[in-house]
């Protein structure tokens, strides 16, 4: 499951003198490989970067967020793969249950409490500010390139995704035209968030959250997988979280919004803005293979938007 280079890095650099007793794959992680590593009574998570190396950014974010947002503690990292042979990060294992698993079995009352806890954590993520909007490329966490506005060019972005995508068998010609029109209609409203330069997780959904019950309440124990993080508007993460109402609707959504609004400003038109911002991600899903887990789901959400238009 791990090659000799990674094992040598673990035992010589990351956990010197320690014996590796168990290595097994963890659930989740569509883009990278996530493994549980046990050494005696201690448990760690080893993350191997398979499709794009964002390890330096994720390590820097984890260290900056310590004490602000619940993130796993970094134990060691080989962000260039100089020793391990591939980029790897080792962090401490955090106890908790994936949010997606919790919501699948929770009562409506529990779902609302979980939502409140998640909303509060998102407010803390959005409290982290940067000098400008943009994307991170290194451990300095300097957003760029200069003049970048992530919330611009929605119509052109959607058009490009449609040109590169596999939509012929999924959307009719009228639906494709409708999606282009929707992007053109929604683009002007995004001027309201231009210049926003707060930390955005950009994959903020239940499968990237760990939570645990504390008495009669719930607490988020860790926010995972920061590979897509950038500087922009926190409404991106709200749109992401509420994208699939069959999973995150109802009392959970009500609690999530209430938890966020109790600790951060929420504009009156937050829902419209979050839908427009989430269209970037939905359009990008259209460029994936048709059997990708989120291709059909993105099609269904887009059809819902077109029906409601």
- Is the pLDDT score of 30 beyond 60? no
Query: Cα–Cα distance between 274 and 291 in angstroms, integer?
Result: 27
Alpha helices by DSSP H, 242-294: 245-248, 250-261, 270-285
| Together in a domain, 291 and 190 | yes
- Is the pLDDT score of 29 beyond 60? no
For residue 31, what pLDDT is reported?
Answer: 63
Tokens of 164: 């590169």
Q: What is the band of 27 on the pLDDT scale with cuts at 50, 70, 90?
A: confident
Residue 109 parent element (H or E): helix 108-126
Q: What is the band of 144 on the pLDDT scale with cuts at 50, 70, 90?
A: very high
Last residue of a domain, one of 49, 70, 92: 92
| Together in a domain, 129 and 86 | no
Q: What is the band of 166 on the pLDDT scale with cuts at 50, 70, 90?
A: confident
Lowest mean pLDDT among 28-37, 51-60, 112-121, 129-138: 28-37
Share of the chain above pLDDT 70, in %: 99
CA dihedral for 300, 302, 303, 305, sign (positive or negative): positive
Q: Which residues neighbour 168 within 8 Å (Cβ) at sequence distance 6 or greater?
A: none
Query: Cα–Cα distance between 24 and 37 in angstroms, integer?
Result: 7
- The boundaries of the domain holding residue 107 are 97-308
Last residue of a domain, one of 65, 92, 119: 92
Q: What is the band of 32 on the pLDDT scale with cuts at 50, 70, 90?
A: confident
Overall average pLDDT of the 46-50 stretch: 92
Q: What is the band of 33 on the pLDDT scale with cuts at 50, 70, 90?
A: confident
| Together in a domain, 114 and 213 | yes
| Together in a domain, 107 and 69 | no
- Is the pLDDT score of 290 beyond 60? yes
Last residue of a domain, one of 42, 72, 92: 92
Q: Could you tell me the strand order of the sheet in which 198-200 lies?
A: 134-135, 230-232, 198-200
Cα atoms in the Cβ-side hemisphere of radius 13 Å centred on 232: 25
Query: Cα–Cα distance between 36 and 23 in angstroms, integer?
Result: 6
Paired strand residues for 134: 231
- Count of the separate structural domains present in the chain: 2
| Together in a domain, 32 and 139 | no
The residue with greater pLDDT, 269 or 50, is 269
Query: Cα–Cα distance between 64 and 231 in angstroms, integer?
Result: 14
Q: What is the band of 150 on the pLDDT scale with cuts at 50, 70, 90?
A: very high
For residue 88, what pLDDT is reported?
Answer: 97
Q: 81: which DSSP letter? A: -
Q: For 52-68, b where at least 16 C-beta lie within 10 A, e where not — what string?
A: ebbbbbbbbbbeebeee
pTM: 0.95
Lowest mean pLDDT among 44-53, 67-76, 153-162, 257-266: 44-53
Which pLDDT tens digit goes with each residue over 178-222? Answer: 999 999 999 999 999 999 999 999 999 999 999 999 998 999 999
Q: What is the CATH number of the domain that holds 177?
A: 3.90.1200.10
Overall average pLDDT of the 297-305 stretch: 96
| Together in a domain, 215 and 229 | yes
Q: Are 119 and 260 in contact (CB under 8 A)?
A: yes
Which pLDDT tens digit goes with each residue over 238-279? Answer: 999 999 999 999 999 999 999 999 999 999 999 999 999 999
* Beta-carbon count within 10 A of 249 CB: 13
For residue 28, what pLDDT is reported?
Answer: 59
- Is the pLDDT score of 127 beyond 70? yes
| Together in a domain, 243 and 183 | yes
Q: What is the band of 77 on the pLDDT scale with cuts at 50, 70, 90?
A: very high
Overall average pLDDT of the 74-88 stretch: 96
């Amino acid at each position: 499951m791990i090659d000799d280079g990674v094992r040598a890095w673990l035992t010589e650099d990351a956990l010197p003198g320690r014996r590796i007793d168990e290595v097994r794959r963890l659930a989740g992680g569509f883009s990278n490989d996530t493994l549980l590593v046990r050494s005696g009574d201690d448990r760690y998570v080893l993350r191997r970067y398979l499709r794009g190396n964002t390890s330096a950014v994720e390590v820097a974010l984890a260290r900056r967020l310590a004490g602000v947002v619940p993130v796993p503690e970094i134990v060691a990292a080989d962000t260039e793969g100089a020793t391990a042979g591939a980029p790897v990060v080792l962090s401490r294992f955090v106890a908790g249950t994936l949010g997606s698993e919790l919501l699948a079995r929770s009562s409506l009352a529990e779902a609302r409490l979980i939502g409140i806890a998640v909303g509060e954590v998102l407010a803390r993520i959005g409290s982290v500010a940067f000098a400008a909007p943009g994307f991170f490329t290194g451990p300095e966490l300097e957003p760029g390139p200069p003049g970048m506005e992530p919330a611009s060019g929605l119509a052109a972005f959607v058009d490009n995704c449609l040109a590169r995508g596999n939509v012929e068998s999924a959307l009719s010609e009228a639906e494709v035209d409708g999606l282009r029109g929707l992007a053109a209609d929604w683009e002007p409203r995004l001027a309201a968030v231009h210049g926003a330069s707060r930390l955005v997780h950009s994959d903020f959904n239940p499968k990237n959250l760990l939570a645990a019950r504390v008495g009669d309440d719930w607490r988020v124990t860790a926010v995972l997988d920061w590979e897509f993080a950038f500087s922009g508007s926190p409404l991106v993460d709200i749109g992401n979280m509420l994208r699939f109402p069959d999973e995150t609707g109802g009392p959970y959504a009500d609690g999530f919004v209430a938890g966020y609004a109790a600790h951060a400003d929420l504009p009156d038109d937050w829902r419209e803005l979050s839908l427009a911002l989430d269209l970037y991600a939905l359009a990008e899903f259209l460029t994936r293979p048709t059997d990708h887990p989120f291709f059909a789901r993105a099609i269904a959400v887009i059809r819902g938007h077109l029906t409601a238009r």
